[in-house]
Structure 1
């Protein structure tokens, strides 16, 4: 069940992050970015704010995914 929840939160976070950052990615990349963002953002948010719950996880996942997309745009894709 945790893997399914990670996929759902990752898909939602990746979708929101790609829309907020105006980045076009495929479905697999969007979910991967969201999952990675969920891990990064969830750890950072829980460490700094010490909040728990689904809403905090989603907010952290979106913030982490946005950070990952920004780093990808700046250092890897270099427009």
Structure 2
């Protein structure tokens, strides 16, 4: 089923891309372009999610540490 889904998404993506870029291609070329675009876009998107996920973890850790320091300063002053 994933192969069929890739062909369907690739066909739609290729069709939209050729219309946006105003390029006239045949059906096979359009589907191939869309499938290749889906593979490349999927890899780039997974890379960006992994990078932003790591950065989000770092930001969350820093914010958590700041919160703990703030709470420690408030409650240890007493």
TM score, norm. by length of structure 2: 0.61
More helix by share: 2
**Which entry has the higher C-alpha Rg, 1 or 2?**
2
CA drift of 1:47 comes to: 0.9
Q: Where do 4+ consecutive residues of structure 1 move more than 3 Å?
A: none
Structure 2 residue ranges without an equivalent (≥5): 51-78
Which structure has more RCO (C-alpha within 8 Å, separation ≥ 6)? 1
Structure 1 residue ranges without an equivalent (≥5): 52-79
What is the RMSD of the two structures over their aligned residues, measured on CA atoms? 1.3
Corresponding residue SS for 2:25: coil
